[in-house]
Structure 1
Amino acid sequence: MKLVVLGMLMMSCVALSAQQRPNIILFLVDDMGWQDTSVPFWDSITPANRKFHTPNMEKLAKQSMKFTNAYANTVCTPSRVSLMSGMNASRHRVTNWISGKDKSTDQEDLVLNSPAWNLNGLSPVKGINSTVHVTALPQVLKSAGYRTIQCGKGHFGTAGTPGADPLTMGFEVNIGGGALGSPASYLGEENYGNVPGKTNLRAVPGLEKYWGTSTFLTDALTSEATHEMDIALEKKQPFFLYMSHFAIHIPFDKDPRYFDKYRKMGLDNAEAAYAALVEGMDASLGTLMQYVADRHLTENTIIIFMSDNGGLSNPPRSGKANTQNYPLRSGKGSLYEGGIREPMMVQWPGVTAPGTTTRQYVCIDDFFPTILEMAKVKHYKTVQKIDGKSFVPVLKDPLYTDTTRALVWNFPNNRSNNWGYAWVSAVRQGDWKALYFQKTGKIELYNLKNDIGEQQDLSAVHPQKAIQMAKLLTEKLKSYNAQLPVVKQTGKTVKWPDEVNIQQR
């Protein structure tokens, strides 16, 4: 009898502990650039801020801490694997976006071959070819008593591997998530790309009740998310909602609620559709914020807003290529700022001061340890080494500053030979940033405080600083056991950044 009572007491303690943990909504947008919002993340208002209408982001900004130096990876899958693992992409080696099983998404090059990167993505199971084996974030949260909800885009692992199914990673619920990253259609009238009797990996699964309706994909996902949160409340469980929208990824299907408004503003069809996707995403954010308020959950709910990579800056966007993310240079796929700097906000009642801004740089690797600290989860074990650093100290103090930390990116892959899209590594420390172009051996050096647009390469003006940054980049890459591309003619890898002669360039 005593053992039964003791067991019941232990169970009640676990239940009580779970109930005391905060709810967490991680709102991740796909392909949203730093300027694709009416919320300014720069020191001044830009034309893009005036073009987009995101009133709920504006509301969240007034209630939260805004991060003006938040970073992700250049494309989606590397960011999502870093988010779920806490690993730097240099270490997990999912350095490009993933597609079909065992198929590389790299373009062919006459001079270089890509290394044997993990082109099948993340796996919660050991021994899967070309994957990184990890203990995923939702698994740790689930073990701590959370109801873990994946809603929207998955794109963690290729079809036919365990990582393709979010349920294998610790999510209790999967709404719409699969192997591929872009939806076949946003339109309920088109069944979100599903055709009975035919297989289409880009078709969004699990939303059959909306087929044939006028419900836009963004809204269908939001509605299902609120339903799953209701279930968590009924079960008296804290919830972790990974609200991972497909928006604003292609295809640019027209959201009928907003499209005409942007056409009347003078935008062409492509830009109007893009802006409508942005506003539809913002409406989803507003619905979730209102849900939290209506159920009196605000004081115990953390909302994190983030994008997975920089904004598109070439077709199908309109206008001159690689100008859409002004004042940042380039866009999605690039290691220039336009490809990796993200709009980020965190609302944590009682911790973050409303309407504050921090300039401290953070990266998507940091979300894993930060979210677990927010959730009061301690003494957890993972099969992988965690590279991220909790930014809870930043949330508690917007003036917190650490300029000694080095953020590192590695893209030993070939997306395009223009605009920093191929064969490149980068490091940021303080205001300084260096890019190493692996094919040419060129080092570029920028001071982001003075030149956020990366227009003035200072490597010739400050060669010693360039050498120092190249050495730092090399040390960090080697510590991550990072990969480099291979020279076809010799079969050897390209030089490390600190092996090139900067002063002769």
Structure 2
Amino acid sequence: MKKIVFILLSFFAAIICQGQKKEQSKPNIIFFLVDDMGWQETSVPFHSEATELNYRYNTPNMERLANRGMKFTQAYAAAVCSPSRISLMTGLNSARHKVTCWTLRKNESPSQKLKDITEPDWNVNGISTTEGVDRAIIVNTLPQLLKQTGYQTIHVGKAHFGAKDTPGENPLNLGFDVNIAGHAAGGPGSYYGTNNFSAAFRNGDLIWDIPGLDEYHGKDIYLNEALTIKANNEINKAVSDNKPFYLYMSHYAIHAPWEKDPRFYDKYKAMGLTNFQATYASMVESMDKSLGDIMQNVRKQGIEDNTIIVFMSDNGQPSNADSNLPLRGHKLLPYEGGVRVPLIVHWPGVTQPGSVSKNYMIIEDIFPTFLEMAGVKQFKQKGGPIDGKSIVPFLEGKTKHKQNRPIFWHYPNTYGGTLYFPYSSMRQGNWKLVYRHVGRELELYNLKDDLGEENDLAKNEPEKLIELSKVLSNFLRESDAQMPTDNRTGKKVVYPDALFE
């Protein structure tokens, strides 16, 4: 009898062991997302040649990651934060999920009212995984799907998925097992532990105060460091529990308020930079140190060969920062400076060290890419047809640089007042089309010849203008994209192909 029991116990132990090995074979995935970091705000050049900003900033850990993996020189996000974050969580383009501007307060838009145009009733409350939330899109999320296949899902830092007092404000309601410091707001009250990470110390709105970091209140610690310590602790727990993990390391940096990291500020001031420039550069390097600390911990835990690290920004740099030349524009604008962002992927055994991809991609591509990396072959998105395309073939080096896939941006909002404008835009191949909603104006650029978008070819290339207007309009119709209302006529702004009827 004892012999039979021993055999049975050995049999079940073998099964358990096999299950653990199978689970361990899934790669860990770290998505290191930075807020408001421009294309060139790094010592890693993403242009064909180094620029002035590449020499200003010091990001040695980004350099290490790029040397180990693949750098994408033509990666895109939305021009503002919440749309990007909802797209990566769902695989949906902003025209489809209709979270087209940044969220904060329930049922309220942050936009200004303009004389000539009124923005549509967009999804100001963000996303939800359960029915019954007004002005929110009901979805299956990336962490939800990864969790179902055995991943420990960890959220650290900025969330900004849903408005305050809605389910989407809490990452725990969106498929994450752990939430550290994530809530409704898209920026921190303060970066300083001595300020309790609160806006109270600058007489600001307390809605920006970061939750869940009470242990650091009153202490001389910078927010980036506090979040990194917490993230590494969660990595250690997942490794100890023998579980594959998805870490969404979502820094608040380099979003306002711009507060220097004293560890790095003085050297930039000594370079002759202004106070703001030195502060901004110190925040960039502080973020980079976080990346290095996480990479070091991954190696220390012995999981480096089975851990994918992806670095990306959620939109271009703010208007306060120096222009990311040769790109035109900045955050909130449809031009390359607003939407082109740094992207680096290190997938051990797959990406070639030091490789560069000129293939373009957009942030909703992260959703199907991570699911493919995790071995998830079947999934549903109740929020609508998935717009993102997996970039795994690019990472494997199977696809050459001959793309004709159209990618889209949609911003029918009036946030920023008259300094900005509502628009729809697209890229297909080397061509970029911008449709300004207020004046029904079309702009056309050839990015291969004119990366700075200085030469509008709308009058010179009428056939291409009409062709792309149809492609953009067909997508807007198919995704039921919301358009603003022209206050002068009381009618919705037409899709661009109507201009040629």
How far apart, in 1, do the equivalents of 2:414 and 2:199 lie?
32
Task: Please give the residue correspondences for 1:12-31 in structure 2 after superposition, counting only pairs within 5 Å.
Answer: 15-31=20-36
Number of equivalenced pairs: 493
* Structure 2 unaligned spans of 5+: none
Matched position secondary structure for 1:186: coil
- Cα deviation for residue 15 of structure 1 reads 4.2
Counterpart of 2:140 (choices 135, 153, 173) is: 135
Counterpart of 1:170 (choices 170, 175, 183) is: 175
- Cα deviation for residue 417 of structure 1 reads 6.0
The alignment status of 1:293 with 2:299, answered yes or no, reads yes
Partner of 1:436: 435
How far apart, in 2, do the equivalents of 1:73 and 1:228 lie?
29
1:432-465 CA-to-partner distances (Å, cap 9, x unmatched) read 0100011111110000011000000011111111
The amino acid across from 1:180 in the alignment is A
Shifted more, 203-212 versus 493-502: the winner is 493-502
The amino acid across from 1:96 in the alignment is C
The amino acid across from 2:218 in the alignment is G
- Cα deviation for residue 264 of structure 1 reads 0.7
1:157-197 CA-to-partner distances (Å, cap 9, x unmatched) read 0010000000011111111001001100000111111779x
How far apart, in 2, do the equivalents of 1:17 and 1:501 lie?
58
Task: Please give the residue correspondences for 1:80-479 in structure 2 after superposition, counting only pairs within 5 Å.
Answer: 80-193=85-198, 200-314=206-320, 317=321, 324-384=323-383, 385-397=385-397, 400-416=400-416, 421-479=420-478
- Cα deviation for residue 488 of structure 1 reads 2.0
After TM superposition, the score normalised by the length of structure 2 is 0.94
- Cα deviation for residue 254 of structure 1 reads 1.4
The amino acid across from 2:474 in the alignment is E
- Cα deviation for residue 213 of structure 1 reads 1.1
- Cα deviation for residue 480 of structure 1 reads 1.1
Contact 2:61 2:291 in 1 (8 A): yes
The amino acid across from 1:359 in the alignment is K
* Structure 1 unaligned spans of 5+: 318-322
How far apart, in 1, do the equivalents of 2:100 and 2:16 lie?
42
How far apart, in 2, do the equivalents of 1:182 and 1:60 lie?
26
- Cα deviation for residue 478 of structure 1 reads 1.1
How far apart, in 1, do the equivalents of 2:163 and 2:13 lie?
43
Matched position secondary structure for 1:422: coil
Contact 2:90 2:140 in 1 (8 A): yes
The amino acid across from 1:76 in the alignment is C
The amino acid across from 1:216 in the alignment is Y
After TM superposition, the score normalised by the length of structure 1 is 0.94
The alignment status of 1:63 with 2:63, answered yes or no, reads no
The amino acid across from 2:215 in the alignment is K
The amino acid across from 1:278 in the alignment is V
Counterpart of 2:43 (choices 38, 46, 49) is: 38
Change (3 A) 1:426 1:194: closer
% identical aligned pairs: 47
How far apart, in 1, do the equivalents of 2:123 and 2:107 lie?
9
The amino acid across from 2:227 in the alignment is L
Partner of 1:320: none
- Cα deviation for residue 19 of structure 1 reads 1.7
Contact 2:222 2:261 in 1 (8 A): yes
- Cα deviation for residue 32 of structure 1 reads 0.2
How far apart, in 1, do the equivalents of 2:10 and 2:495 lie?
62
Matched position secondary structure for 1:413: coil
1:276-319 CA-to-partner distances (Å, cap 9, x unmatched) read 000000000000111111222111000000000011123xx3xx
The amino acid across from 1:396 in the alignment is E
The amino acid across from 1:292 in the alignment is V
- Cα deviation for residue 398 of structure 1 reads 6.8
Contact 1:15 1:145 in 2 (8 A): no
